[in-house]
Chain A
Amino acid sequence: DTEVTQTPKHLVMGMTNKKSLKCEQHMGHRAMYWYKQKAKKPPELMFVYSYEKLSINESVPSRFSPECPNSSLLNLHLHALQPEDSALYLCASSQPGLAKNIQYFGAGTRLSVL
């Protein structure tokens, strides 16, 4: 099983809403990532968890709050987002410590903020 599952696939929310994106993998990977991708642009790294600890936070606004409850799950809590936060949010996982650290990506959650 090389699948990374993201839910929901699509999300529309208002600027005052609170919502969460979920990501799950059962490959035994101990690194999980959140990326943001705007249209026609490459993914931008937001957060990396390694062994359930936040290891990279690329100066993301506090309205995005990651959570890694266990080694298989990664959440992204959203609160008071802006319309410019509308994007595709991708989750990935990998096994840290390997020289060739292949990241496996989920299908993404397409977020629209109204």
Chain B
Amino acid sequence: KNEVEQSPQNLTAQEGEFITINCSYSVGISALHWLQQHPGGGIVSLFMLSSGKKKHGRLIATINIQEKHSSLHITASHPRDSAVYICAALLAYNNNDMRFGAGTRLTVKP
């Protein structure tokens, strides 16, 4: 079993839909990272959170430390949101070490 599990693996949505991507982890973490990777490679950090909820524009990330679960929500999705979304756990005992989920490939159709 992977230390960081994401679901779904693939997600197709219509423009305007509300999207949720889930992440569960089994390791002790100091923080959880949500990353976005567009085709071509570059990875952008969306959020790093260790408790509660963070919001940036149409993106919302939540984390429940007791349940070891985090979600990334996209409101009013747009085709430009199409990308791979990766959650990554920053390990509590070594915060130079990050364990990645397999990623969720999101396609938003116009």
Residues of A within 8 A of B (CB): 31, 33, 37, 40-45, 48, 50, 55-56, 88, 90, 92, 94, 96-108, 110
Collect the chain A residues with CB atoms within 8 Å of residue B97's CB.
Answer: 45, 48, 56
Closest chain B residue, CB of each to CB of A2 = B45
- Chain B 27-45 per-residue mask, 1 if CB under 8 angstroms from chain A, else 0: 0001101010000111111
Residues of B within 8 A of A (CB): 30-31, 33, 35, 40-45, 48, 50, 86, 88, 90, 94-98, 100-103, 105
Collect the chain A residues with CB atoms within 8 Å of residue B105's CB.
Answer: 40
**Contacting pair B41 A101 (CB below 8 A):** no
Collect the chain A residues with CB atoms within 8 Å of residue B94's CB.
Answer: 56
Measured CA separation A91–B96 after assembly (Å): 13
**Contacting pair B42 A96 (CB below 8 A):** no
**Contacting pair A94 B30 (CB below 8 A):** no
**Contacting pair B96 A48 (CB below 8 A):** yes
Given contacts A42-B102, A43-B100, A101-B90, contact A96 B45 (CB under 8 A): no
**Contacting pair A99 B30 (CB below 8 A):** yes
Collect the chain A residues with CB atoms within 8 Å of residue B41's CB.
Answer: 37, 88, 90, 107-108, 110
Measured CA separation A48–B40 after assembly (Å): 24
**Contacting pair A101 B44 (CB below 8 A):** no
In the assembled complex, the CB of B74 is this many whole angstroms from the nearest CB of chain A, namely 20
Given contacts A45-B97, A45-B98, A48-B97, contact A100 B30 (CB under 8 A): yes
**Contacting pair A108 B50 (CB below 8 A):** no
Residue B103 contacts which of A31, A42, A88, A108 (CB distance < 8 angstroms)?
A42
A-B pairs with lowest CB-CB distance, top 4: A42-B100, A108-B41, A105-B43, A107-B42
Collect the chain B residues with CB atoms within 8 Å of residue A45's CB.
Answer: 97-98
**Contacting pair A100 B48 (CB below 8 A):** yes
**Contacting pair A96 B102 (CB below 8 A):** no
